[in-house]
Amino acid sequence: MRWVNDYPMAFTDRGTGPTVVFVHGVLTDYRVWQKPLENWLKDYRVIAVSLRHFYPEIWNGKANDFTYQQHAKDLARFIETLGGPVHLVGWSFGGMPAYMVARDRPDLVRKLVLVEGGPDFRVQADGVPSNADPIKRAAVTEKFFQAGDIDGGLRFAVNDISGPGRWDALSESYRQTIRENAWTVVGIGREALWRASCSEFQTLKMPVLLMWGELTTPRLRGIVEAQAECLKTASIVKIPRTGHGVAAGNPQAFHSEATSFLGR
């Protein structure tokens, strides 16, 4: 654990070699990377962080600093304590603070990997940005929580993110990890609607890899495709036989594609 901007940021630090920092998604924490990164350890130093208000903190949703800006600020400061620059991997929700660090502090990031995460440039038919979806999801989930039905809210949220039936398909141990991060999915909805722009994404100065799972939802695939269309210099890779949980769903392919990119 390391104090960063007056917050005790938890992390794991394993392996030897070039440093790669991994940032988790919503409802998860640094533990989500433990098994998927086993085959990285002989060639890379892999650091997995837990963002502010994620496990090991058991958050009750009562704070006003659960924002992309704060998470990016914390992540940048954490990388500074490592002596930077590092390779940076952001998955799902974690893709946004990872992108913001790469955009604002390119001196800290050698290469950036976004795994079904980061800015969504698309606009819905009614003119509302597509990133309104997490806000709508949070509002419904919070109603379940307020009624005392934590698992009901998490079932709704997980299925809304990853597709119908996903909650029921999870192991009980993984469900417990999600329970320990439950209010983070509500925290997303308390942030002002963040309007992304392609022109801003194009300012990234480092090599970028965009990854998505073959079985992911159309909404998440669309985010990655829009990013690739915007940033023509980015590499894009589809990981077979997995959905949104790309690294855990196919760790061998994730490792092969990501390390090939990082090693160029």
What the block records as the tokens of 211 is: 């990854």
The residues that bridge with 89 in the sheet, in sequence order, are 22, 113
Convert 150-186 to b/e letters by CB count within 10 Å (16 or more is b).
eeebbbbbbebbbbeebbeebeeebbebbebbbbbbb
Lowest mean pLDDT among 113-117, 119-123, 225-229, 259-263: 119-123
Supply the mean pLDDT for the chain: 94
Q: Residue 257: helix, strand or coil by DSSP?
A: helix
Indicate the pLDDT class of residue 127, thresholds 50, 70 and 90.
Answer: low
Please determine, for residue 193, whether its predicted confidence score (pLDDT) is greater than 80.
no
State the average pLDDT over residues 75-83: 97
The model carries a pTM of: 0.96
- Mean pLDDT, residues 132-136: 81
Provide the domain count of the chain. Answer: 1
Q: Across residues 74-95, what is the average pLDDT?
A: 97
Of 106, 103, 113, the C-alpha closest to 224 is 113
* 135 is a domain residue: no
**Is residue 28, in this structure, part of any structural domain at all?**
yes
pLDDT value of position 195: 72
Q: How far is CA 151 from CA 54, 60, 136, 159, 170, in A?
A: 18, 15, 18, 12, 13
Residue 216 falls within a domain, yes or no? yes
**222 domain residue, yes or no:** yes
What pLDDT sits at residue 194? 67
Residue 80 lies in a domain: yes
Predicted confidence at residue 53, as pLDDT, reads 98
**pLDDT band for position 251 (50/70/90)?**
very high
Q: What is the mean pLDDT of residues 33-49?
A: 98
- What whole-number distance in Å separates Cα of residue 75 and Cα of residue 51? 8
CB atoms within 10 A of CB 64: 8
Cα separation, 109 vs 102, whole angstroms: 6
Residue 132 pLDDT exceeds 80 = no
Give me the CATH number covering residue 84: 3.40.50.1820
Decide: 109 and 207 in contact? Cβ < 8 Å: no
Q: What are phi and psi of 130, to 5 degrees?
A: -65, -25
Residue with tokens 């993984």: 174
In a domain, 170, yes or no: no
Asked if the model's pLDDT at residue 192 lies above 60, the reply is: no
pLDDT tens string 16-30: 999 999 999 999 999
Domain containing 119 equals 2-126+197-262
**Backbone phi, psi, residue 8, to 5°:** -80, 95
Residue 128 is predicted with a pLDDT of: 64
pLDDT tens-place string over residues 230-248 = 999 999 999 999 999 999 9
Please choose, from the candidates 126, 56, 57, 99, the residue with its C-alpha nearest in 3D space to the C-alpha of residue 201.
Answer: 99
Q: Are 210 and 234 in contact (CB under 8 A)?
A: yes
Given this model, what pLDDT does residue 133 score?
78
Per-residue pLDDT, 264: 85
Bridge partners (DSSP) listed for residue 238: 212
For residue 153, give both structure tokens.
Answer: 């809210």
Residue ranges of alpha helices (H) inside the chain are: 68-82, 95-104, 133-146, 150-162, 166-169, 172-179, 184-188, 198-201, 218-230, 246-249, 251-262
Three-class SS state of 168: helix
The reply to whether 66 falls in a domain is: yes
Mean pLDDT of 100-129: 89
What is the per-residue pLDDT across 157-186, written as a single tens digit (0 to 9) for each?
Answer: 999 999 999 999 999 999 999 999 999 999
Q: Give the angle subtended at the CA of 118 by the CAs of 247 and 130, to the nearest 5°.
A: 115
**Residue of 127 and 216 predicted with greater confidence:** 216
Pairing of strands 45-49, 11-14: antiparallel
pLDDT value of position 134:
83
Tokens of 225: 């495709």
pLDDT at 85 > cutoff 70? yes
Closest CA to 263 of 99, 18, 16: 18
Q: Strand pairing partners for 8?
A: 3
What pLDDT band is residue 122 in, cutting at 50, 70 and 90? confident
Residue 136 within a domain: no
